[in-house]
Chains A and B, each alone.
Chain A
């Protein structure tokens, strides 16, 4: 019975997203959205994937990683090599981008996830910088002058990737495996002594997060005609971190909402380059003063609907 009830919510959300997809697609093919808006939509999608994937690492598993741009870069370059040098189809290149990033996640995760808190943050920051500097020095991918990439990222690809990301993270989180990750965030010692293989789950969360960030990298690379190592500096990592913190640590819908909001804000502030960073910073400061727990705190978007009907005895975490 509960299975059916849950399945109903699932199909409803699939239906809604399909309608949303069709609306945007018609607007694009009907010429209602000029390239500027189209580009903004792609960016929003890419940022949603990045925010959601980092949410899995920081918000769910509690591992403070600030090298997410490194995974983005690995995904971007790997997929660009696939399409530009090896002439593979876009789908394959996205997949390879994701897998390469996941591999990077495993390689960096296995040794560094023994570290905690600040130390892990520094290690991941270092990883991000290493990736950038390595890319800067490989002539095969153009070094500092960057790599030409053809424009292949279209709305259907972005939409499908966003949907995939959100489904994977939501399904993972609301299962026993996600609970294991949350228990690590809450108290690692206790999780360990309750039979949770903490190292395994930290590495898994890291690898899934990296995989999704790698896919975002593939989309990112094929959206701008050119990729440069300097696009993937630590400021990019912080941008992603801000989505997660601003949305509320532990809330997937919060991270998504923040990604949408901040991408829109930055895009529209591009008209005022002198004041852009000032306004952006002000938004963040005001936000942190009045809502230090983030936009949604640890709540999910759907839990606001649930509360109204009294306590819903649905064991699923909070995401419908």
Chain B
């Protein structure tokens, strides 16, 4: 593990919806280059935690900082521009846009040509758009999606849609990638391919990855460290083998052992 400063520091974060504490007092530190799993039973607050990190919800307590910069109260699009990108539990592609356009949307915040130059069709518009095209196509090639480039995103097979969503999230050039159940609905073969893909992009893009997953073979197989949430609280943290034998984790998933 690297010993430098944490990339993401989550300090005693919590959120309350009315009387319900969905997440409370969560402390997480991610170091550059790590691949971390976040697990927990259904309703443990995993997705809520992602929503806190990406600015969809504003935490009612605690603070989140990326490379020492406080992210509190920044809207989602600014957090994305700072370097946190995500995928969604239920695929959220831009269905009626083509595959390549989905990726190009992620490049939008890097676009150099202004709206006026686009409306008046200045040379900067063509140059900017062409640059985007080329970059997006390069990008699709990495994910083997280039032959689908003009297909509408909604017409892709399920597994490819997941792939495209990861590609789109990566196109925004993040430092931290959040994957919300990337293997949901996949068969073992596809899950295996996904594991390889995650390992590959992490190398290639020098990323830190935080992933929510229910598929334990995937989590235990690829993650270096695992955080476990239950009822909105962090109940365990550690290496996969430590988590596997942690009585608190077993209790959270299977219930308390009956002692006779």
Contacts and interface: CB of A to CB of B under 8 A. Distances in A.
A175 B130 CA distance: 11
Interface stretch (B100-108, B182-190, B201-209, B221-229): B100-108
Contacts of B92: 187, 189-190
Interface string B49-93: 000001110000000000000000001110111000110100011
Interface in A111-143: none
A309 to B, nearest CB: 13
Interface string A284-320: 0000000000000010000000000001010101000
Interface in A154-213: 168, 171-172, 175-180, 182-183, 185-187, 189-198, 204
Nearest to A172: B119
A204 B86 CA distance: 26
A171 B97 contact: no
A268 B67 CA distance: 68
24 contacts: A171-B118, A175-B115, A175-B119, A175-B129, A176-B107, A176-B111, A176-B132, A179-B104, A183-B94, A183-B105, A186-B93, A186-B95, A186-B96, A190-B94, A192-B76, A192-B80, A193-B79, A193-B86, A194-B77, A195-B81, A195-B108, A298-B96, A315-B129, A315-B133
B109 interface: yes
B108 A193 contact: no
A129 to B, nearest CB: 31
Interface stretch (B16-24, B29-37, B120-128, B252-260): B120-128
B125 to A, nearest CB: 6
Contacts of A34: none
A109 interface: no
A23 interface: no
B51 to A, nearest CB: 9
- Chain B interface main SS type: helix
Interface of B: 54-56, 75-77, 79-81, 85-86, 88, 92-97, 100-101, 104-109, 111, 113, 115, 118-121, 125-126, 128-130, 132-133, 150, 168-169, 172
Given A176-B111, A182-B94, A197-B77, A191 B105 contact: yes
A278 interface: no
A197 to B, nearest CB: 5
Interface residues of A, number: 35
B115 A195 contact: no
Contact of A177 (B93, B107, B118, B150): B118
A179 B105 contact: yes
Q: Which has the most chain B C-beta neighbours within 10 Å: A2, A195, A198?
A: A195
A108 B180 CA distance: 37
A176 B77 contact: no
A175 B128 CA distance: 9
A311 B132 CA distance: 20
Contact of B54 (A186, A193, A197, A298): A193
Contacts of A191: 94, 105
A45 interface: no
Nearest to B94: A186
Interface of A: 2-3, 6, 10, 168, 171-172, 175-180, 182-183, 185-187, 189-198, 204, 250, 298, 311, 313, 315, 317
A193 B94 contact: no
B175 to A, nearest CB: 13
Nearest to B112: A176
Contact of B101 (A3, A179, A189): A179
A10 B80 CA distance: 36
A116 to B, nearest CB: 15
Given A3-B130, A182-B97, A187-B93, A175 B106 contact: no
Nearest to A317: B101
A115 to B, nearest CB: 17
A189 B88 CA distance: 10
Contacts of A189: 56, 76, 88, 92
B106 A172 contact: no
A177 B115 CA distance: 6
B18 to A, nearest CB: 21
A242 to B, nearest CB: 22
B109 A196 contact: yes
Which 8 interchain pairs have the tightest Cβ spacing? A175-B118, A186-B94, A195-B109, A190-B92, A195-B80, A192-B76, A183-B105, A176-B111
Nearest to A2: B130
Given A172-B115, A186-B95, 20 more contacts: A175-B118, A175-B129, A176-B108, A176-B111, A179-B104, A179-B108, A182-B96, A183-B97, A186-B93, A186-B94, A187-B94, A189-B56, A189-B76, A190-B94, A192-B76, A192-B77, A193-B79, A193-B86, A198-B77, A250-B96
